[in-house]
Chains A and B, each alone.
Chain A
Amino acid sequence: GAVVSQHPSWVICKSGTSVKIECRSLDFQATTMFWYRQFPKQSLMLMATSNEGSKATYEQGVEKDKFLINHASLTLSTLTVTSAHPEDSSFYICSARAGQANTGELFFGEGSRLTVL
């Protein structure tokens, strides 16, 4: 099946620094990628929809200036957590849809665990 890879899988940073997480579709082109955040024992929460070549669409309550999303190519989307604080510590997961039709199948990355000290 299609593969989506995230990097890094684990990152620890100091409060106030910025962290970039990459999401790559390895064997297919993805015009749309999605970024989720998961708190312990809670569901995946959609943060934003990343569109290749245009601005990301953010969900209500997600700070655009805090979580910068760039979808520079059909195989790469990046999420930058700017001026990270301990409350940003979470598990961040990206996904991408292979193909254009609404098959419903999303392929997920392995996730990136961010810990802000």
Chain B
Amino acid sequence: DQQVKQNSPSLSVQEGRISILNCDYTNSMFDYFLWYKKYPAEGPTFLISISSIKDKNEDGRFTVFLNKSAKHLSLHIVPSQPGDSAVYFCAASAFYNFNKFYFGSGTKLNVKP
């Protein structure tokens, strides 16, 4: 039973436009969320995080929004750049076992020049 889901396997966006990647979760105990970026043949690299006490966290071009009532989070990238083309994973952990992260299946973002 997958507790973190990314229902869009791929997304294509024009350079300069906004990219919106979505993630849904089922476990109401999740209180910490992360987004990772992964290039082919490389390990994931951390992008941005958000805890459940917030509903928005911003870092440069990246903003993560958390809607706890809908159990939904999203990553906004604006403006999108070709170098952003990668697979993006969302992950979540619960306060009672913060070392254990559950990952979504990833969304492959293609930013076209």
Per the CB 8 Å criterion, the residue count for chain B at the interface is: 25
Shortest Cβ distance from residue B3 to the other chain A in the assembled complex, whole angstroms? 10
Residues of B within 8 A of A107 (CB): 46
A93 CB within 8 Å of chain B: yes
B89 interface neighbour in A9, A41, A44, Cβ under 8 Å: A44
**Are A102 and B32 in contact, with the CB atoms below 8 A?**
yes
Main secondary structure of the interface of B (DSSP, over half): strand
8 A Cβ contacts from B43-82 to A? 43-46, 49, 51
From B99, B102, B104, contact of A34 by CB (8 A): B99
Main secondary structure of the interface of A (DSSP, over half): strand
Contacts of A69 in B (CB 8 A): none
Number of A-B residue pairs having CB atoms within 8 Å of each other in the complex: 57
User: Provided the pairs A49-B99, A106-B101 are in contact, do residues A41 and B43 lie with their beta carbons within 8 angstroms?
Assistant: no
Residues of B that sit less than 8 Å from A by CB: 2, 4, 9, 32, 34, 36, 41-46, 49, 51, 89, 93, 98-106
Residues from chain B with a CB closer than 8 A to the CB of A54 are: none
Q: Which residue on B lies nearest to A110, using beta carbons?
A: B43
Task: Decide: B42 and A43 in contact? CB cutoff 8 A.
Answer: no
Q: Which residue of A lies closest to B87 (CB)?
A: A41
